[in-house]
Structures are given as C-alpha cells and as structure tokens.
Structure 1
Amino acid sequence: MNRRRPTLLAALTLTATAALTLSACGNDDDSPAKGEDKIAGADTGDKASAPPSPSSSSAAAADRPEVELPPDLQLTFEGAKTGDPVKDAVLADNAERMRAVDAAIAGTDPDAEALGFYNTGKALEAAVSWVGQFEKANATVTGQVRYFDRKVELRDKTSAVLTFCADESKGFSKDKKTGKVAKTPVTKNSYVQYNTSLDKNAEGVWQTSQIISTRGAAQCQPQ
C-alpha cells in the first residue's frame, strides 16, 4: 500500500504552527465538522526567493496531476480567461490548487499528490494542517462553492498576487461515517475574500506560496 500521503501530512503538520488553518465551506465554527472561519498565520514569515524563469518548453513539460472531486462536490471558477496568457495560467493553477485541497480532504487524491504540486511554503503547511484536521474529525466536504471576482497582479515573471471571493453559502462539511451534512444558515460569513501569493517554479507551475482570507468581507457580499 502506498503510504506517501500519511507521511506527507504527518511530516508537514509537525512544522506548521497551531494557528494555520484553511477556510472550509459555508460554516462558522472552530472544528472541521462544523466548519472553519478563517486562515490565520499563513501570511507570516519570510517569502522564499523566486526560482529562475523557466523556459516555455519546461512549462509545457510540467506533468500536472489530474485532480478529481467527488460527485457531490462542485467548484465553479469564474473569469478564467483574461486575454493575457500569463494571468490565465495563474488563474488556472490557482483553481487546481483550491480543487487539490478539497480532493485531499475528500479522499479522491489518496496520495495528496496535487496538494504538494500546487502549494509551497506556508500555503503548503496551511493546506496540510487543514486536511489533517478534517481527517481527525472524520469529516469531508460537500455541496457547491463559487469563486468569483478573481483578479491577478503580476509582480514580475515568476511572482503574482491573486485576490478572489468565494460564495460558500451552498458548501458544507459532512460526517464521513454517518453522511450527515452540517448545514448552516446563509450569513455574511458565507462569503470569503482570499488574498494569495503565487510563485512560478522551474517547471512553469504557479504554486500558491502564501494565502490569507477574510470571512464576511464586504467586497464579496451579494449585491
């Protein structure tokens, strides 16, 4: 049996601080079974220096893992095409990053390959910590989450900032054993703003290196 995923989770969780968490779907409490409100601490520390700019051939050769989600979980990403191929690449890899976290939680990526592929640095520590909390609670995710108002700012050839909103009003946690869905009422906290930093690695993959969120952000509320 392949033990790669438990080893990855165990090793990196030990290096993550206790405050590192990731936002879950549509919940407002402090445990994965009931939902996690915010990301804390993922924006601290020194940012790793960006790698040398890869050639176009190395970018094309990046062997991206296939990310699959369970049939009861649907993620929608708006505004995938900007007309700028570099910005579009940032948006595409960030979308796969968000999908990778949920795939690790849901168990559709049993080796957590995509989790390590699309995350690095503190964002990876945060992702691994959050997946580990779901495992401990024997919980998963279900429902629908919509990502919108996605805006990319290119810092240079190998670094970018991406902000976006999440509508988690139809996304929930679910008990793996009983199948019970922890549905919560829709409030302002069902909407989250994310602020992320991404670095392009030697294979041409835009990895998320840092991530913070603001639950209940005014700019993400429905009009």
Structure 2
Amino acid sequence: MNRRPTLLAALTLTAAAALTLSACGSDDSPKSKDNDKIAGVDAGAEKSASPSTSAPASTGRPKIELPSDVTYKFEWKKTGDAQKDAVLNDAEQRIKAVDMAIAKQDPLDKAYRFYSEGTAAAGSQKYIQEFVDHKARTTGLTRYYNESVSLNDDGTAALVYCEDQSKAFNKFLKTGKTDVTPVTKDSYVVYAGTLRKNDNGVWVTERLISERGSAKCRP
C-alpha cells in the first residue's frame, strides 16, 4: 500500500536537474492505493518492536527513535559541498522524524516540526493524523535515491529525490496486521522540496510536493 498521496499543487523547481510536478502529493495521508483509507483490518495483536535510534547530529537536535521494523536505504551521495550535504542530512532526518511521529501516534511531535515549517509541516501533520485516525503506522524498508540538490540565490535550497515504497506498508496497531499490497508504478514517488537554513543552522523543509508513478523514479 502506498503511503504518500496525491496533492493539489504543482511546482517547477530549478535544481541540478529541472523538474515540473503536476497533480502532486505531500506527506498527508497513509499509504493507500485509494489515498483516503487503509484497507482490511484482521484480528490479532501487534507485538512491540524494539526501537532503532538515530542519534542527534548535534546539540539540540531531537533523537530519532523508530521501531526496529521501520528501516531505510538512503542512496544519497555526498556532494563534497558542506551546505548541500547539510541539506541532504536534514531532509533525511525530517523523513525519519515523520515516521517517528506516526509510530508515537503524535501529530504534533516536536521532532518533525524541528525539521519543517509552513506548508510542509502542515502537510506532515495531516499525514500523521490520518495514521492516528486509522490506528496504524509504517513498517518495512523505504529506499531514497536519484537526489538532486541546488542552492539558490535567495538562500533557499531546492531538493528533488525519489522514493521506492515497494517494500514499505501500513501496519495496524490493534491487530498487528501488515497490509502487503502489489508493487505498481505508484509505488515510486518523486518529491520536490524547498528548504531554508534557520537561525539554528538547520535546513528546514518549507514546502514539499510529490508525484506518483514518475518515469524519473520507476525502475
């Protein structure tokens, strides 16, 4: 089941490779082919998973602790540019912080709001709330690749990247059931984000949109 939905916006970003997104999406609903709902809850009980921890990169940054069955493969390469690498690092932490908020069932968790503001934070809050409403969380392996980052004259950064959700699913908290669904072109999502470095030196995501089934991301 695909967890990241379609959204009502379009954006053209000039990054290392320019990309236009239309009929796009953001972090605002659970993984679902139907976008609005989570299908099929079976009986059973979820066993608690031991958390994995992503230590804070520096003083003041939140510690990211996730269930052991929530894993990632970031294929983002070091650019050799300190600012661009910081953008990639903080974007990675935001992704993990959103899944931590889902696991904690807390739409206002401080960690993801540490790494996002504006419409990106609002979209993430809505996305997390839908998991809470369905009493579900994420599970499985999510892969991130085909990244492109550029620094703009206005102090912002543009980041485009792909997400492979083919091994990531929804897990229901009351039953322990994992909703495993077939892999389709919609399992591959392209994202475009705008980030700005705040007074604490953190690259916060201000805007994030996405599109499912993009040829840029499909194998």
TM bin, normalised by shorter chain, reads 0.7 to 0.9
User: 1:33 — aligned with what?
Assistant: 38
1:183 maps to which residue? 180
Number of the residue aligned with 2:155: 158
| 1:220 aligned counterpart, secondary structure | coil
Task: Give structure 1 stretches of 5+ with no counterpart.
Answer: 1-19, 35-59
Q: Does 1:171 align with 2:168?
A: yes
Alpha-carbon separation, structure 2, partners of 1:81 and 1:108: 33
| Aligned equivalent of 1:126 | 123
The residue aligned with 1:95 is 92
Amino acid at match of 1:144: L
TM-score, normalised by the number of residues in structure 1 = 0.74
- CA change 1:188–1:23 in 2 (3 A) is farther
Equivalent residue letter for 1:216:
G
Give the number of the structure whose residues are more often helix, by fraction.
1
CA shift for structure 1 position 68: 1.5
Alpha-carbon distance in structure 1 between the residues aligned to 2:120 and 2:37: 18
**Residue 144 (1) aligns with residue 112 (2):** no
Partner amino acid, structure 2, of 1:31? D
C-alpha offsets along residues 55-74 of structure 1, whole Å, 9 cap, x if unaligned?
A: xxxxx976111111110110
Q: 1:11 maps to what in 2? A: none
Q: Is the 8 A contact 2:29 2:130 kept in 1?
A: no
Question: 1:61, 1:77 → 2: CA distance?
Answer: 20
Q: How far off its partner does 1:136 sit?
A: 0.7
State the partner residue of 2:213: 216
Alpha-carbon distance in structure 1 between the residues aligned to 2:154 and 2:82 = 12
- Relative to 1, partners in 2 of residues 1:110 and 1:25: Cα closer, same or farther, differing over 3 Å? closer
Letter in 2 for 1:176: L
More strand by share: 2
Q: How many residues align?
A: 179
Indicate conservation of the 8 Å contact 2:190/2:210, yes or no: yes
Measured on the aligned residues, the alpha-carbon RMSD in Å equals 2.4
After TM superposition, where is structure 1 displaced by more than 4 Å over at least 4 residues in a row?
A: 23-26, 108-111
- Tell me the distance in 2 between the aligned counterparts of 1:200 and 1:127: 19
The offset of 1:109, in angstroms, is 7.4
Aligned-residue offset at 1:203: 0.6
Counterpart of 1:160, as a letter, is A
Provide the C-alpha distance between the structure 2 equivalents of 1:78 and 1:207, rounded to a whole number of angstroms.
21
2:213 and 2:73 map into 1 onto residues whose CA distance is 20
Contact 1:139 / 1:176 at 8 angstroms: preserved in 2?
Answer: yes
- Distance in 2 of aligned mates of 1:174 and 1:73: 11
TM-score using structure 2 length: 0.75
Whether the aligned pair in 2 keeps the contact of 1:21 and 1:126 (CA below 8 Å) is: yes
Q: Distance in 2 between matches of 1:121 and 1:166?
A: 22
